[in-house]
Structure 1
Amino acid sequence: MYRRNITHILLPLGVALTLFVTYHHFVKPLVRATSPDSISAESASEPAPEQPAPTHPMPAGEDAKPVRALDQTAVPATQDTAFLETIRDAIETGNLAVAESKLMTLPPGLLADPAAKPFVAILWNNLGLQQERLNGTAASLKPFKKAAALDEQNAVIQLNLAHAYWEQRDPALTIDFLSRLATLAPNEPFPHLAMADLLYEQDKLDQAAAHLTQATERMKQDPGLQSYYQMVTAKVRRADQAESRMAARNSTHFIVKFDGGEDQATWTTVLGILEDAYRDIGQRIGHFPSKPITVVLHTKDTFQSATGSPAWADGLFDSVLGRIQIPTQGATTNVNWLTNVLRHEYVHALLHDRVGGSGGFVPTWLNEGLAMQLAGNEWPDLDQVMRGEMQVIPLQYLEGSWVQLPHNVATLAYLEANSATHFLIERWGMSRVDELLTSFKARESVAAALQAKLFVSYEQFHSRWLDTFQQRRT
C-alpha cells in the first residue's frame, strides 16, 4: 500500500508528541492484548477486513483436503509380484527412500505387463501422498507425475497431480490440463474452480464465471474446497462488478484497465512506467512475475469505495484480487506521483507472486520496507523525525495488516519499515533478503527465518537495527 511522502508535515515537536501519545493509547494496549502468534498475517496491501475472502488462496487445509489414496493391498500376479510387494510394504511402513529407490529401478519389462503398470502407478501415487504428508506438496510432485504418466485415465491420480500443481503454482496447471481432468472426473468441482481461477488471471471474466457456476453445482462432492471456492467466487464477482464496463489495454507484462473515458495518454504513460519497473525492480529483487499483472485505474471518486482502502492510502495491491489499484485523478499531470505509486505497488505484486502463491507471506514491515527501498520513494530517516524519548512499535507487531491503523500510527509504521529494511539490505545484502523470501514462501515464521538466514534472533535483529539510528541521533 502506498501513501504520500509526509516529510513536509513532520514537524519535530508535533510528531514526537503525537507518536508518544498514539503509542501509549493505541499500540501499547494492542501489544498487551495480542501475542505475535495471534496477529493476522495479512498483507498490508489488502482491502479492508470487511471483505470475506481469505488472504491467501489455498484450496483447503490439511485436515479438509481429501485423502486420495488408492488401494495397494492386492498385488497383481506377475513374475515380479514379490518385488512389488516389497515396494508396497516399504510405503506402508514409512520406508519411503527404499520404496522410491525400488520404483526407480523396476525390473526390465515390468511396465509392459498390462496388469502391473496401473499398480505401479498406484504405488507412485501413494508414495507421493506419504511424501506430501511428511515434507509438503513440493516433495509429492515427482511421484505424482510418475503416477500420472503411467495411468492417464486414473481420475484420482490426475486429481492429486492437479492439486499439487495448483498449490505449487506450477505452470503445468494449464486450461488444457484442467479441461482433460474435468472430462475424466466430471463430478469434481476442483477442475472448474482452478479453471475459473486461471481464467480470472487472464482477465476472461465471463469464462471464469461459467466455470464457477459448474463448480458450484458440484461442490457437494468436495466440501473441503469451501475456502478456495469462496476465494474464487469473491474474486470473480468483485472484479466483474467493478470492472465490467472498464476499457483495457495490454502490454507484454501488464493488463491496464481504466475506469472512465478512453485516455490514450494515461495508458501510454502507465504502461511505460510499469514496463520500466518490470525490468528495473525485477533485476534488483531477482524475480519476474509468472503471469501478466492487472492494474486497475480508478477515478478519484471511486477508488476508496471500490477498494475498501484506508483514507490515507494513495494506492494498493489487492492480494485477493491480484490487482494493483490506484486513483488516476491528475495522473498525467503529476508523473512523479504516478511513478512512485505504480513502482511501490508493483513491488508488492512481485513479492506476492514470489511468495504468496504457496500460502506464504512477507511480514508487512518488510513488504512495505522493500516497496519503499526498491521503488525509490524518498522518505525521511526515522532518526530525523524522532525527538526526545524514543517510542517505537516492535516489529513483531507490524507483521500483520495495517489497514486499521490510525493515521499517525501508520506514519510511524512506514518510517520503521523503511528504516528496518534499509538496515537489513545494507547489513546483509539483497541475496540474504532473497533467502528470507524463500523461507517465507515455505511458511516459516519471521523469527525462524531470521535465525536461519541471518544467524541472529528476532530480538537481536531488532536491537541492532535500533542501535544504528540511535547512534546517528547522538
Structure 2
Amino acid sequence: MKCPYCGQEIKTSPHVCPSLPPGPPAEFVDVFLTRVTTQVEPGPLQAYLQQLLPHLEPPAISLLLQHLPAVILRNQPRPAAEKIRQEMSLLGATVLLKAVSPTRPLAPRPGLPLMEPPPPPRRFTLGYLVLLLVCALAGLAYFLVSRQPSRPESEPEPITFASPRPDPGLKPVDASPPKLKESAEDPAQVQIRSLLQEGVKQYNQSRYIEAIHTMEQALLLDPKQPQALNNLAVIYCTLGWDSWKKNDFDNAKDLFQEAMHYQPEALCALRGLGFTYFRQDDLETALAWLNRYFDLGGDQADVYALISDIYYRQNDLKKAMEFLRMALALDPSQAAWKDRLNKLEREHTVEKDFLAGDTRHFVVKYEGYANAEAGWLVMTLLEEAYLRVGAELHYYPPNPITAILYTDRQFQDITRVPAWAGAAYDGKIRIPAKGLRQDDERLQRIIFHEYTHAVVHEWSRGRAPTWLHEGLAQTLEGEPTEEYFAFARLLARSDQLIPLRQLEVPFIRLPEPQAKVAYAESRLALEFLEQTYGSYVIRQLMEALAEGKTMDQTLQDATYLNYDQFNRRLLEWVGQSYGSQ
C-alpha cells in the first residue's frame, strides 16, 4: 500500500513511513497488565507484584488484579520492561508494552491556547524608559475609564481544544487573549497580536470563515507566525469534524488535509483522517494515518479501539484484542468495549485453530479438514450471491466479507441468538455447518439471505432499520414460501399491521411467533415499495440512510410519505393484494 504522507510503497505494520525524518528510538515503555489466566495460583503473581510495586498494600494489589487491564508502570527502560514481561508471563499474566518517546520534540499541536510571543528585546535607554512610563500611564487611565470583564460571567471557563471521540465535537481554543507587550519599535508585532486576538474571538463565536481570513492576515505579516499556523490548523480541524458529523467524508478529508498544510503534525487532523477513511471502508489507509498519529505521540483510547475494529474486520483477532485491551487500560469506563472484548475472547477461543479459504470477495473459516468441503461449498454460493445480489441492487461491498462455519454448540456460544435462528450476521456471516449439502436449497437461501444483510449493512453504513434489512434479505433469498403467503393473507384479514417504527429493533429479541409476523410484514413492506415506487427506491433509501438521515426523513424523500402515512398506505396495499386470496 502507499503511505498517505509521501506516496511511497510501505507495509501496514511500520508506524512511520521510511521517507520521514527518523526520530529517536523509543527507549522507554509503559507496562500494561491486561489479563491473568485462571489456571494458575494467584499467590506467586501477587507476591511478585508486591515486590514490583512496594508502595501498594496487599489489598490494593488484589483490587488491581480485579480491574484489568491496567497500567502498572510508566516510562520504564525497554530491557527492564521486557524482563518484567517475561517473568510475569511465567506466572500466568499477559503483559503489553507501549512505546513512549518522552524526549522527542514535537511541533506545536493544534488545540493549544494562543501562545504568547516573546516580548521585543529590552533596550534600557532613557527614551525607552520615558516611553514605557507614558504607555503605562495611558494604559492605566484607559483601564479606569472603560474597564470591562474580558468575558461575561455566564460564559463557561475557557477550555483547550481536544480532538473528539468517534462522534466528534471539537472544543474551542483558549478564549482568553494573550497579554500584549506593545513595542513602538515593531508595530507589525502589535498588529499581529491584535489579529490573533480577533481570530480567537471569531472562532469562539463559530465565525470560522472570518477567523480563517483574520489568521491569514497575520500570516501575511509573518508567514512563519506559530500561533497563526497553530490556530488555522485548529479551525480546519473543527470544520473537518463538522463535515464528518454530517457524513460528508470527502469534504472532511479535504479539510483535515488543509489543517496539515499549516501544521504537518496536527494530531487532530491525523486522527480525523483515520476515522474518515475508516468510515469510507478504506481500512489500509485508515490504519496508515492512525499509525502516523501514534508515531507523533497520540495516545487517545478511542483510536486504539478503532484500530481494534480494523484488525477485527481483517480477521486478526489477536491484534484486535491487544488494541482493545490498550483502549480499556486508558479508559476503563467504556462498558461497551468490555463487552466487545469478552466477545472477541470467546471468538478467539473457538476459532484459534480454524482453517481459512478465500476468494476475491470472501474469507471463509471452518474447523478442520473434515469441513473443507463445506467451506468450499459456502465460498461457491457466496460468490454466486455476490454476482446475483450485486446485479439486482447495483452495489458491491468494497472489502472482503468473512463467513464462519460452526458446530451448533459453537454457533450458540458465539452468536447468543435464539434457537430458531438459522444463521446470523453481526459484521460477519455465521452459519451452523451441520448437514450442509450441495443440493440443499435451504443452504442457498441462507447464504443469499445473510449476504444481503452484509450488503445492506455496508451500503447504509449500519443505519438501516431491521424491517428494511429483513425485507430485502427475504426478497433476495429466493421465491416466497407458502408460510409467507399464509401470513400475508392473515395480516390482510386482520386489517392491522405492526407499525414499522416498532420493527426497527432486531427481531431476535421477539418470541418466535411474533418474529414470524415481523419477518412477513418486512417482506410485504419491500414488495409494496418496489411495486409502487420501482426498484430504484431501494438505492434512494440506502444512500439517504448512509448520509445520516433518519428513517422518517428517508421515507419522506423517497416516497413523499412520513412513517405513519407509509404504514396506512402499506395496510391498504396488503388488503388489496392479499385480502381476496
Equivalent position of 1:188 in the other structure: 300
Counterparts of 1:304 and 1:342, CA distance in 2? 18
After superposition, the C-alpha distances for 1:178-210 in whole angstroms (9 at most, x for unaligned) are 222122225433332222211111111122223
Q: State whether residues 256 and 294 of structure 1, in contact with CA within 8 Å, keep that contact through their aligned partners in structure 2.
A: yes
Aligned partner letter, 2:541: L
Equivalent position of 1:18 in the other structure: none
Gaps of 5+ in 1: 1-58
After superposition, the C-alpha distances for 1:128-181 in whole angstroms (9 at most, x for unaligned) are 456667x56746443222113432323344334444544565547533322221
Q: Does 1:276 align with 2:396?
A: no
3-state DSSP of counterpart to 2:331: helix
Q: Does 1:295 align with 2:403?
A: yes
- Residue 235 (structure 1) shift: 4.5
After superposition, the C-alpha distances for 1:39-90 in whole angstroms (9 at most, x for unaligned) are xxxxxxxxxxxxxxxxxxxx9585xx67554458569949877776665444
Q: Does 1:206 align with 2:318?
A: yes
CA pair 406-180 structure 1, distance change in 2 beyond 3 A: same
Which stretch of structure 1 is more off in the superposition, 398-407 or 372-381? 372-381
CA pair 291-69 structure 1, distance change in 2 beyond 3 A: farther
CA pair 136-275 structure 1, distance change in 2 beyond 3 A: closer
Q: Does 1:452 align with 2:557?
A: yes
Which residue, 413, 425, 433 being the options, matches 1:328?
Answer: 433
Q: State whether residues 148 and 161 of structure 1, in contact with CA within 8 Å, keep that contact through their aligned partners in structure 2.
A: no
Counterparts of 2:285 and 2:221, CA distance in 1? 31
Q: Which aligned pairs between 1:306-345 and structure 2 lie closer than 5 A?
A: 306-318=414-426, 322-345=427-450
- Residue 449 (structure 1) shift: 1.8
Q: State whether residues 369 and 420 of structure 1, in contact with CA within 8 Å, keep that contact through their aligned partners in structure 2.
A: yes
3-state DSSP of counterpart to 2:508: coil
Q: State whether residues 300 and 328 of structure 1, in contact with CA within 8 Å, keep that contact through their aligned partners in structure 2.
A: yes
3-state DSSP of counterpart to 1:325: strand
- Residue 252 (structure 1) shift: 1.1
Q: Does 1:431 align with 2:536?
A: yes
Q: State whether residues 389 and 476 of structure 2, in contact with CA within 8 Å, keep that contact through their aligned partners in structure 1.
A: yes
Gaps of 5+ in 2: 1-163, 181-187
Q: Which aligned pairs between 1:280-429 and structure 2 lie closer than 5 A?
A: 280-318=388-426, 322-356=427-461, 360-379=462-481, 380-381=484-485, 382-384=487-489, 388-429=493-534
Q: State whether residues 100 and 127 of structure 1, in contact with CA within 8 Å, keep that contact through their aligned partners in structure 2.
A: no
CA pair 152-261 structure 1, distance change in 2 beyond 3 A: same
Which residue, 132, 135, 142 being the options, matches 2:254?
Answer: 142
3-state DSSP of counterpart to 1:351: helix
Which residue, 178, 184, 187 being the options, matches 2:290?
Answer: 178
Counterparts of 2:552 and 2:512, CA distance in 1? 28
Q: State whether residues 181 and 191 of structure 1, in contact with CA within 8 Å, keep that contact through their aligned partners in structure 2.
A: no
Aligned partner letter, 2:530: I
- Residue 424 (structure 1) shift: 0.4
Which residue, 113, 119, 125 being the options, matches 2:237?
Answer: 125
Aligned partner letter, 1:159: R
Equivalent position of 1:94 in the other structure: 206
Aligned partner letter, 2:204: E
Q: Which aligned pairs between 1:22-61 and structure 2 lie closer than 5 A?
A: none
Aligned residues: 403
Equivalent position of 2:75 in the other structure: none
Counterparts of 1:131 and 1:392, CA distance in 2? 39
CA pair 428-394 structure 1, distance change in 2 beyond 3 A: same
Counterparts of 1:196 and 1:331, CA distance in 2? 33
3-state DSSP of counterpart to 1:393: coil
3-state DSSP of counterpart to 1:174: helix
Q: State whether residues 331 and 338 of structure 1, in contact with CA within 8 Å, keep that contact through their aligned partners in structure 2.
A: yes
Higher relative contact order (CA 8 A, sep 6+): 1
Aligned partner letter, 1:263: N
Q: State whether residues 355 and 441 of structure 1, in contact with CA within 8 Å, keep that contact through their aligned partners in structure 2.
A: yes
Q: State whether residues 555 and 561 of structure 2, in contact with CA within 8 Å, keep that contact through their aligned partners in structure 1.
A: yes
3-state DSSP of counterpart to 1:248: strand
After superposition, the C-alpha distances for 1:414-438 in whole angstroms (9 at most, x for unaligned) are 1111111111012112322222223
- Residue 367 (structure 1) shift: 0.9
After superposition, the C-alpha distances for 1:298-345 in whole angstroms (9 at most, x for unaligned) are 123433343212122111112xxx111111222124432211101100
Aligned partner letter, 1:206: K
**TM-score between the two structures when normalised by the length of structure 2:** 0.61
Q: State whether residues 540 and 558 of structure 2, in contact with CA within 8 Å, keep that contact through their aligned partners in structure 1.
A: yes
Counterparts of 1:400 and 1:140, CA distance in 2? 31
Counterparts of 2:491 and 2:233, CA distance in 1? 64
Flag the structure with higher helix content.
1
Counterparts of 2:443 and 2:255, CA distance in 1? 48
Equivalent position of 2:113 in the other structure: none
CA pair 180-232 structure 1, distance change in 2 beyond 3 A: farther
CA pair 313-103 structure 1, distance change in 2 beyond 3 A: farther
After superposition, the C-alpha distances for 1:256-287 in whole angstroms (9 at most, x for unaligned) are 11134443322222111111211221232232
CA pair 169-265 structure 1, distance change in 2 beyond 3 A: closer
Counterparts of 2:257 and 2:275, CA distance in 1? 12
Aligned partner letter, 2:560: F
Q: Which aligned pairs between 1:161-172 and structure 2 lie closer than 5 A?
A: 161-166=273-278, 169=281, 171=283
Aligned partner letter, 1:122: V
- Residue 351 (structure 1) shift: 1.2
After superposition, the C-alpha distances for 1:345-368 in whole angstroms (9 at most, x for unaligned) are 011111111224xxx521211110
Q: Does 1:197 align with 2:309?
A: yes
Counterparts of 1:299 and 1:105, CA distance in 2? 67
Equivalent position of 2:62 in the other structure: none
Aligned partner letter, 1:371: A
Counterparts of 1:209 and 1:132, CA distance in 2? 27
CA pair 101-279 structure 1, distance change in 2 beyond 3 A: farther
Counterparts of 1:214 and 1:90, CA distance in 2? 38
Equivalent position of 1:34 in the other structure: none
Counterparts of 2:338 and 2:261, CA distance in 1? 32
CA pair 391-196 structure 1, distance change in 2 beyond 3 A: same
Counterparts of 1:389 and 1:190, CA distance in 2? 49
After superposition, the C-alpha distances for 1:81-102 in whole angstroms (9 at most, x for unaligned) are 7776665444332233545678
CA pair 108-284 structure 1, distance change in 2 beyond 3 A: farther
CA pair 187-129 structure 1, distance change in 2 beyond 3 A: closer
Aligned partner letter, 2:570: W
CA RMSD of aligned residues (A): 3.5
Counterparts of 1:414 and 1:232, CA distance in 2? 28
Q: Which aligned pairs between 1:216-255 and structure 2 lie closer than 5 A?
A: 216-219=328-331, 226=334, 229-230=337-338, 232-255=340-363
